Amino acid sequence: MVMVDGAYGEGGGQILRGAVALSCVTGKSVTVFNIRGRRPKPGIQPQHLMGIEAAAAISGAEVEGAEIESLDLTFRPRELRGGGRTFDIKTAGSVTLVAQTIIPPLAFADRPSEVRIIGGTDVPWSPPADYFRHVFIPAIRAFGVDASMEVKRRGHYPRGGGEVVLRVSPVRALSPVRSIERAMVQAVRGVSFCTNLPSHVASRQAASAERILKAGGYANVRIASEALSEAGGSPGSGITLWAETGGTFRVGADAMGAREKRAEEVGAEAANKLIGELQSGMACDRHLADMIIIYMALAEGNSEVGVSSLTMHARTMIWLTKLFTGAQWAEGATAGAATIAAKGAGVRNRSL
C-alpha cells in the first residue's frame, strides 16, 4: 500500500488525481490522507469525485472514502479495461481534469476506449479544452500515447453541460522524450471562442492577441474565431494560443473571459503569456511540464525536457511519481528556466 499525504507541496487536487492514475497503471493500492489539505475547502469535491469514479470504473477498483468532503481515500485497482463509457460530472467541474486522470489508465488498458465526459470544458483553475487538445495531447503522442479529444459542446460555470469525446488506444510501453531547447517559431495558431455572447467578443479577443503577437515579432499568426450558441448553457469566452516550432512540443498559453474583463484584455493576456513562455527558449511551457511528469516517470529509458519555469505543481508530481515508480529525477537551472530529467520506470502494459 502506497501512503500519500494529500497536503504535501501545493496540497491540491492534483495529488489525488495523480495518485489514482499512478495506482491504476502500476497496480499498486494507495491511501491518500489529508486530501487537499492546504485548500480553503479541504476534502474531495464533485470534480475530484468523478475522476475517482471514472478511474475506478476503468480499473475495477475497490474504493473506500469516495464521497464529498472526505479527507481520506483508499483505492485498490484490479485490471484495466478499455471500451466505451460516459462520465457526467453534473456540475461545471472540469472535464479536462477528469480526462487528465484517466488517460494514463486508458493507455495501459486492454483495448481502445471512447469516453464521453460531461461538465465544464472551459472553467477556472483547469486546462481549457483547446489547450488540452492542441498542446497537451500532441505532447503525450511524443511518448507514444495514441489519443485525441473532440469538443462536442462548450460548458462554462455555473451550469456546465459541456461535452467532450476522448479516444485513447493502448500502448505496450511509453517511449522516452528528449526536448530541451525549442526550435524557431514557425507559426502561432489559436482558437478564440465565445458562447451565448455577441459574436464580436471572440473576434475582438483574437484581434487583440494577433496585434500583440505581431508587434512582438511573430508574423505568421492565425487565430480562429468561434461564436457559439448553446441552449440552456452559461455564457463564457476564452482564447488559447500555441506556437508551432516543428519540434516535439507546442508552447501554449491561454486566458479566460470574465464579466470585468474586456475582450481586448483577454486576448492581450493570452498573447503576453505566450510571448513570456517563448522568451525562455525552452521546449515546454510551465503548465505542460506539470502535465507530462507522469509520462516521463512511466516511460522506458531516459527523458529530459526544458521548461520555462518549474512550478510547485511539477515538483509535487515528481515527488508523487517517486512513491509509485522509483523513477529517478534530476533538475537543472539555466538563465531563469529549468531542465528536468527522468530515468523512467519502464512500466509495461499488463494486458497486451
The DSSP secondary structure of 103-144, one letter per residue, reads HHHHHTSSS-EEEEEEEBSS-TTS--HHHIIIIIHHHHHTTT
- Do both 228 and 269 map to the same domain? yes
Q: 313 an active-site residue?
A: yes
At 183 the pLDDT is 93
Question: Does 56 reside within a domain?
Answer: yes
Q: Position of cell 471572440?
A: 202
Q: What is the pLDDT of residues 175-193, one digit of tens each?
A: 999 999 999 999 999 999 9
Question: Does 349 reside within a domain?
Answer: no
Question: Does 352 reside within a domain?
Answer: no
At 199 the pLDDT is 97
Q: What is the pLDDT of residues 151-180, one digit of tens each?
A: 999 999 999 999 999 999 999 999 999 999
- Do both 239 and 290 map to the same domain? no
Residue 47 pLDDT class (50, 70, 90 cuts): confident
Q: What is the pLDDT of residues 4-30, one digit of tens each?
A: 999 999 889 999 999 999 999 999 999
Per the structure, how many domains does the chain have? 2
What CA–CA distance (Å, rounded) separates 325 from 21? Answer: 12
Confidence check: pLDDT of 59 > 90: yes
Once rounded to an integer, what is the mean pLDDT over residues 294-309? Answer: 98
At 333 the pLDDT is 83
- Do both 33 and 132 map to the same domain? yes
In which domain, by residue range, is 300 found? 2-179+284-343
Examine the fold and report which residue of 279, 298, 316 is the final residue of a domain before the chain moves on. Answer: 279
Question: Does 122 reside within a domain?
Answer: yes
- Do both 38 and 53 map to the same domain? yes
Question: Does 226 reside within a domain?
Answer: yes
For 60, which DSSP code?
T
Helices (H), 8-94: 13-26, 46-59
Q: CB neighbours of 234 closer than 8 A, spacing ≥ 6? A: 92, 155, 156, 157, 158, 159, 160, 161, 195, 196
Helices (H), the chain: 13-26, 46-59, 95-107, 129-131, 137-141, 200-215, 263-279, 286-298, 312-325
At 10 the pLDDT is 85
Question: Does 350 reside within a domain?
Answer: no
- Do both 211 and 72 map to the same domain? no
Residue 302 pLDDT class (50, 70, 90 cuts): very high
Confidence check: pLDDT of 73 > 90: yes
CB 185 within 8 A of CB 244: yes
Examine the fold and report which residue of 223, 250, 279 is the final residue of a domain before the chain moves on. Answer: 279
User: What's the longest Cα–Cα distance across the chain?
Assistant: 55
Q: CB neighbours of 259 closer than 8 A, spacing ≥ 6? A: none
45 labeled part of a ligand binding site = no
Residue 287 pLDDT class (50, 70, 90 cuts): very high
Closest by CA position to 122, among listed 95, 88, 87 = 95
48, 134, 287, 313: the catalytic one is 313
- Do both 275 and 127 map to the same domain? no
Going by their DSSP bridges, the two strands 73-76 and 83-88 should be labelled as unpaired
- Do both 293 and 244 map to the same domain? no
At 335 the pLDDT is 75
Q: What is the pLDDT of residues 218-257, one digit of tens each?
A: 999 999 999 999 988 999 999 999 999 989 999 999 999 9
Confidence check: pLDDT of 336 > 90: no
Residue 295 pLDDT class (50, 70, 90 cuts): very high
Examine the fold and report which residue of 279, 308, 332 is the final residue of a domain before the chain moves on. Answer: 279
Residue 334 pLDDT class (50, 70, 90 cuts): confident
- Do both 161 and 305 map to the same domain? yes
Q: Position of cell 515527488?
A: 319
Instruction: Say which amino acid occupies 112.
Output: P
- Do both 142 and 268 map to the same domain? no
Q: In what order do the strands lie in the sheet with 328-334?
A: 178-179, 302-307, 337-343, 328-334
- Do both 39 and 58 map to the same domain? yes
Question: Does 351 reside within a domain?
Answer: no
What CA–CA distance (Å, rounded) separates 262 from 89? Answer: 30
Question: Does 129 reside within a domain?
Answer: yes
- Do both 298 and 249 map to the same domain? no
- Do both 32 and 142 map to the same domain? yes
